């Protein structure tokens, strides 16, 4: 019988399903192992179900030549060295589609909370600072009718654009590696612009692009300087796309009105400067966190693992070229 390792605590139902096919090594108690420990734990396992925080690199693969499948419970897979997996014939899978709408809901919510200063308002109230009404108490910026800028117009970006255009009458502009076909732009009246135009024109900029060496610090001091001082920036993509230090500085100096961040460079550590500025809403990487969606992600990761190791076609491969 083949063996699979599940690196993190997961739904019992997912473990039970896997156990119908494999010898399963679970992580009961969700023990946090040191970063280098995974290579050793994988010994004797043909498959692994990982979360987005676990790194799969060439050294780990070389130490585990028996490994055939790496199934990520995340749509983003920058934690996995895909070319190294492909070179060794290891199938990589991710969990697209099942989290699109849930993540778009959260991106929109975080953008609204940022624009309307909801977190600042709550802190103000809890701190006992709310003693009377005043005309400019926590005045933010409108979402309805504003210009929504999307950097990274994949499935989630389109979901956010749809919410903005159809629900809030927003004017949608976007920048992406490639332009959408006209039939996808038309229903939401989305206009393709250069990255510079996007930064200059957006009232609310939302980042939904994948992380790669090319997108590292795609938003740094120079890019932030192009944005309107009244604008907001929301990042639900990956830490490292934004230079957190430059962002904290822009927020402190008021050259950017506010930011909403669900992801951080080096998370779960948060740049200390971000913790000292009031005009930023901080959440702990929870954009896909609804019970139904996390269950769907776990089910899809398990479907992929079962298919990959039992000679079936995995539903959502990242490197289908390794399937013969
Ligand atoms: C995950 C995510 O919760 O899917 C992604 O890419 O960022 C989140 O949905 C996270 O990566 C843990 O697996």
Q: Which of 17, 238, 271, 294 is catalytic?
A: 238
DSSP H helical ranges for the chain: 12-19, 38-41, 58-63, 82-87, 100-115, 118-126, 155-162, 168, 182-185, 195-201, 221-226, 244-253, 272-276, 291-309
Place of tokens 């629900």: 167
Mutating to test ligand 1, I would choose from 285, 291, 318 the residue with most ligand atoms within 8 A of its C-beta, which is 285
Q: According to the model, what pLDDT value does residue 35 have?
A: 80
* Closest ligand 1 atom to Cα of 103: 9
- pLDDT tens-digit profile of 11-61? 999 999 999 999 999 999 999 999 889 999 999 999 999 999 899 999 999
Q: How far apart are the CA of 139 and the centre of ligand 1, in A?
A: 33
- pLDDT tens-digit profile of 275-316? 999 999 999 999 999 999 999 999 999 999 999 999 999 999
Distance CA 283, CA 198 (A): 25
- pLDDT tens-digit profile of 152-204? 999 999 999 999 999 999 999 999 999 999 999 999 999 999 999 999 999 99
Ligand 1 site, CB within 6 A? 51-52, 73-76, 99, 288
**Nearest protein Cα to ligand 1, atom 11:** 52
Give the domain ranges of the chain: 3-96+291-322, 100-282
Identify the architecture of domain 100-282 in CATH: 3-Layer(aba) Sandwich (3.40)
CATH code, residues 3-96+291-322: 3.40.50.720
Domains 3-96+291-322 and 100-282 share a fold: yes
- pLDDT tens-digit profile of 243-284? 999 999 999 999 999 999 999 999 999 999 999 999 999 999
């Amino acid at each position: 019988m083949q063996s699979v390792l599940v690196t993190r605590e997961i739904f019992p139902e997912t473990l039970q399903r896997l156990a119908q096919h494999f010898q399963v090594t679970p992580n009961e108690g969700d023990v946090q192992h040191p970063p280098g420990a995974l290579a050793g734990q994988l010994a004797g396992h043909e498959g692994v179900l990982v979360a987005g925080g676990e790194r799969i690199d060439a050294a780990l693969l070389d130490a585990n030549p028996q490994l055939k499948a790496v199934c990520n419970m995340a749509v983003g897979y920058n934690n996995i060295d895909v070319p190294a997996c492909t070179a060794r014939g290891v199938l990589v899978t991710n969990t697209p589609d099942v989290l699109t709408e849930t993540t778009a809901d959260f991106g929109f919510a975080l953008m609204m909370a940022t624009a309307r200063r909801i977190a600042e308002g709550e802190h103000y109230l809890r701190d006992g600072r709310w003693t009377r009404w005043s005309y400019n108490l926590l005045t933010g910026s409108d979402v309805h009718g504003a210009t929504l800028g999307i950097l990274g117009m994949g499935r989630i970006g389109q979901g956010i654009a749809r919410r903005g255009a159809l629900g809030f009458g927003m004017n949608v502009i976007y920048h992406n590696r490639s332009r959408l076909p006209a039939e996808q732009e038309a229903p939401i009246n989305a206009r393709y612009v250069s990255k510079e135009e996007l930064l200059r024109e957006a009232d609310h900029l939302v980042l939904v692009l994948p992380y790669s060496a090319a997108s590292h610090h795609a938003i740094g001091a120079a890019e932030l300087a192009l944005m309107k001082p009244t604008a907001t920036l929301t990042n639900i993509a990956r830490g490292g796309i934004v230079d957190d230090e430059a962002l904290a500085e822009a927020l402190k100096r008021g050259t950017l009105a506010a930011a909403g961040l669900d992801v951080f460079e080096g998370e779960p550590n948060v740049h200390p400067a971000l913790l000292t500025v009031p005009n930023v809403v901080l959440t702990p990487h929870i954009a896909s966190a609804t019970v139904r969606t996390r269950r769907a992600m776990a089910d899809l990761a398990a479907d992929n693992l079962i298919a990959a190791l039992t000679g079936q076609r995995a539903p959502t491969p990242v490197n289908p070229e390794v399937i013969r």
